[in-house]
Structure 1
Amino acid sequence: MSMNRPVATVLAAALCLLTAACGASSSDDKASATTTEVAASKTGYPVALENCGQKTTFKRAPSRVVLMNGASVAEVSTLLALGLQDRIVANQQSYGMSEVAGRAAAIKALPTGNVKLNDAYDIPREAMLGLRPDLVLSLTSYGFDQKNGFATREQLKQVGADSYVSPQGCDDNLSKMTVADSYRLLRDMGKIFNVRDKAEKLIAESAKNIAAVSEKVRGEKRPNVMVLFSNMSMGSNDFSSVVAKGIGNDILAKAGGANAFESASRTTFADLSKEKVAATDVDALVVIGYNDPHPAAYARKLLKEFPQWPAAKNTTYVTLSDSMYLGPSNDLAVEQIAKMLHPDAF
C-alpha cells in the first residue's frame, strides 16, 4: 500500500508506565504537557482542557463526533473501549484488523457520514461542516490544516464544534510518543465524555499487564527487532516504512527488546536501502498490518529475502496491528512481542 503522506505522521503508532493507575496519573502528566485539565465540577462539567495551546471548555458530553482519518485508529479505538460508539456520526479510521476481538467489525459498522474524501484520504472542509459535528478528533494538527483543504479549529469553533489533537500530535511529529500518551488520550476522553472511572480502570489494567510482562523479562538480553508496515511504501528506498522512533520503541523496551533501526532516522520512520537492511543483524520481526490481510506472508517473504538474519534462521516474527499504535491496547502488543522474544519466560 502506498500513501503520499506517511502513515508515520499518522502512526500507528504512545506510552510508558509500569505502575498502576495512581502512579500513571502522576508520570503521564509530566510526559504530556500539550493537554492539561484546568477545571471540572463534581458533576463532571464544565471540563476545561488545554490542547495544543488552545483552551476548550466542554459544558456537556459531545453527541456528534467526527474522527479524521490520519491513518490512525487511536481515537476510534479509544472511544469504542470507553463504550462511546453511539456518539460517532462519521468515522474515517480503520486498520481492517485488530488484536481485540470484535473491534475491527465494530469499527467497520460505524457510520462514515457518506463523505467524499479528498486527495489526502480525509474529510474536506465543506463536507466536515455539513456533518454538523460538536467534536472533531484528529491524531495530529495536520487534520486541521487549511492548506490541505481541511476545516481549521477556528472554523469549527465558529459553527459550534470543539476539536482535539491527540497527545504528541501538536507539531505533526509522533517520534516522541510513548505508552503514556495512550493513557493520556484515554484519560482526556474520559473527562470530555464524563466516563472518568471507566478510563481509569482501562489505564490501570493496561499498566498492570505491562508491568507483569516487563517483570518476567527483566534482566534478559534484549534482541534487536525490526518493526515495519507490511506492503507499504512511504519513501524512495526499498524499505520506507521501517519504524525508527516513537511508541513502538517504548513497547519494545517494555517487552524486553530493542529497535534495530532506532538510530537510522531522527523521525518516526526510516527510509532505508536494501543494503542497509541486509547489513543489520535482525533477531526478530514485528510486522504491522495496516489494511493488509496477509502480513504474515510479508513477514515470511522478508525472512526468505534475508536468510543471514538470526530472525530468518529461527523464523522469529509476530504480526500485529492496532496494539502497536497509540490507543487502548498497547499491553497486548507488549505481551505478544515479549512471548516471541523470550518464550522461556512464560
Structure 2
Amino acid sequence: MPINRPVATALAAALCLLTAACGESSDDGGASGTTTEAAVSKTGYPVTLENCGRTETFDKAPSRVVVMNGASVAEVSTLLALGLQDKIVANQQSYGMSEVPGRAEAIKKLPTGDVKLNEAYDIPREAMVGLRPDLVLSVTTYGFDQKNGFATRDQLKQVGANSYVSPQGCEDDPSKMTVADSYRLLRDMGKIFDVSDRAEKLIAASEKNIAAVSAKIKREKQAPRVMVLFSNMSMGSNDFSSVVANGIINDILAKAGASNAFASASKTTFADLSKEKVAATDVDAVVVISYNDPHPAAYAKKLLKEFPQWPAAKNNTYLTLSDSMYLGPSNDLAVETIAKKLHPDAF
C-alpha cells in the first residue's frame, strides 16, 4: 500500500497492503488499468500481457527477477507460493513474519542484490540496471517513477527487462482492492512463468477454504465491528494514522463475517484519526497487523487498555496477523483466522 514518502519511520516506508493500487476490482477484465491477458498461447510462449496501458511480451520464463519493496510482500510471496524462488536475483520485500509456516524464513534467505537503497527504501535506477534483470516487479507505478530516482519501464525495456505492476497498482491507491486481485496476481505470474497449473491450484484451494468458512458462519443481523491497524506505525498527523478504512481488508472482513468499524471514516485506504474519534466508535474486535514488529500482541493489549469502553476491551477480543491481510496468495488464512475468533461457536 503506498504511503507518504519519505515516511516518518522505516516501518511505514515499506507498507502495501495492502500493497497495490486503485481502479475497479481485477474481475473487471482490466478496465481500471490492472493486468489482463491480451494473448497467451496455450502451448507456451510468447505470452503477452496488457499492464497499466503497456504491452509486455515474454518469449521465455524470466530468470533474473527483481522484486521492489513498495511496502509490499505480495509479489515475493506469490513467487514463493509458485515455487519460483530460484528466479529471484534481488528482493527488497519483507514483513518479518507470516501466517504461512516457513515463509518469513524463506524470504530472509533470498538474495537482496547487495543494493544501497534510496530514501524510499527501494532500488535506485543505477543499481537496478546493474542487477541485469529480465523482469522487475513493483506493487504500484511508483516503483517506476523517474522523478523519484527509479528506472522507468521504458528504461528497463532498453536493457532487456520486462516490468510488471501488480493488480490495482496503476493509480497508486489500493482502496478498491479485493481478494480477486490476489488471484489475478497469481494468474499473471502463472502465465509469465508458464506455471498456470500451479496458480490455478492455489486459487482453487483458497476459494474452497473461504467457501467452507462462509458456510460455517451464522449470519448475524449486525456483523462484529473490527478495527484494523498497523502496530506502532505513524503515517499521518493524528494519533491514529495507520487505521485501515478501505481496500482488500474490507473484503477479507466481509468474508469472515465481520465489518470495518472505520470504513466510513475515509474514502482512501487509511483513516488518519484523532483519539477522540477512535474513542467514540464502538469496536467489537481489534486486528493488529504486524510489519516487522515482533510484539504486535503487546500493542493490541495497550489499545484495549486505552479504550476500556470498547466491547473489544471488555471481552479481550483481539488478534494479530501479517501478510495474509494483504494482496498475496494467503488471504484465505486471514479469513479463516478472523472468522474463528469472532464466530467460535461455528467451528
TM over 0.5, shorter chain = yes
Deviations 1:162-182 (A, max 9, x none): 000000000101000000000
Q: 1:30 aligns with which of 13, 16, 28?
A: 28
Which residue of structure 2 aligns with residue 165 of structure 1? 165
Shift of 1:237: 0.5
Matched, 1:274 2:275: yes
TM-score by length of 2: 0.93
Deviations 1:284-310 (A, max 9, x none): 001000000000000000000000000
Aligned counterparts, 1:64-79, within 5 A: 64-79=64-79
Question: Residue 11 of structure 2 contacts residue 291 of structure 2 at CA under 8 Å; is this kept in 1?
Answer: no
Matched, 1:228 2:234: no
* Greater Cα shift, 215-224 or 95-104: 215-224
Deviations 1:45-96 (A, max 9, x none): 1000000000111000000000000110000000000000000000000000
Which residue of structure 2 aligns with residue 115 of structure 1? 115
- How many residues were matched structurally? 334
Shift of 1:42: 3.1
Aligned counterparts, 1:101-112, within 5 A: 101-112=101-112
Q: 1: distance between equivalents of 2:197 and 2:102?
A: 23
Deviations 1:235-290 (A, max 9, x none): 01000000000000000000000000001111100100000000000000010000
Question: Residue 11 of structure 2 contacts residue 233 of structure 2 at CA under 8 Å; is this kept in 1?
Answer: no
Runs of 4+ aligned residues of structure 1 deviating over 4 Å after TM superposition are 4-9
Question: Residue 6 of structure 1 contacts residue 234 of structure 1 at CA under 8 Å; is this kept in 2?
Answer: yes
Q: 2: distance between equivalents of 1:44 and 1:28?
A: 23
Question: Residue 64 of structure 2 contacts residue 133 of structure 2 at CA under 8 Å; is this kept in 1?
Answer: yes
CA, structure 1 residues 332+194, in 2 after alignment: closer, same or farther (shift >3 Å)? same
Q: 2: distance between equivalents of 1:31 and 1:215?
A: 28
Unmatched segments (≥5 aa) in structure 1: 15-26
Question: Residue 182 of structure 2 contacts residue 328 of structure 2 at CA under 8 Å; is this kept in 1?
Answer: yes
Question: Residue 241 of structure 2 contacts residue 271 of structure 2 at CA under 8 Å; is this kept in 1?
Answer: yes
Aligned counterparts, 1:1-346, within 5 A: 2-3=8-9, 10-13=16-19, 29-30=27-28, 32-33=30-31, 34-220=34-220, 221-346=222-347
Q: 2: distance between equivalents of 1:31 and 1:39?
A: 13
Question: Residue 19 of structure 2 contacts residue 139 of structure 2 at CA under 8 Å; is this kept in 1?
Answer: no
Shift of 1:12: 2.4
Shift of 1:28: 5.0
Q: What is the identity percentage for the equivalent residue pairs of Structure 1 and Structure 2?
A: 81
Shift of 1:40: 1.9
The alignment partner of 1:340 has SS state of: helix
Q: 2: distance between equivalents of 1:337 and 1:29?
A: 24
